[in-house]
Chains A and B, each alone.
Chain A
Amino acid sequence: MTNPNGRFGIHGGQYIPETLMNAVIELEQAYNHFKADPDFNRELTALLNDYAGRPSRLYYAEKMTRDLGGAKIYLKREDLNHTGAHKINNVLGQALLAKKMGKTRLIAETGAGQHGVATATAAALLDMECVVFMGEEDTIRQALNVYRMRLLGAEVIPVKTGTATLKDAVSEAMREWTSRIDDTHYCLGSVMGPHPFPTIVRDFQAVISREIRQQLLEKEGRLPDAVLACVGGGSNAIGSFYHFIEDKSVRLIGCEAAGKGIDGFETAATINTGRVGIFHGMKSYFCQDEYGQIAPVYSISAGLDYPGVGPEHAWLHDIGRAEYVPVTDEEAVCAFEYLSKTEGIIPAIESAHAVAHAQKLAPTMGKEQILVITISGRGDKDCAAIARYRGENIYE
Chain B
Amino acid sequence: MPIFSIYITSKSGSLLYQKDFKVLNNPITKQNSNDYLVIASTLHGVHAISAKLTPAASAKNYLSSKLPTNSNKTGLRMITTSQFKIYMNQTVTGLEIILFTSPDMGQTKISGIYDKIYQLYCDYVLKNPFYQLEMPIRCKLFDDKLLSVVTTTNV
* Chain B binds chain A: no
B interface list, Cβ under 8 A from A = none
A interface list, Cβ under 8 A from B = none
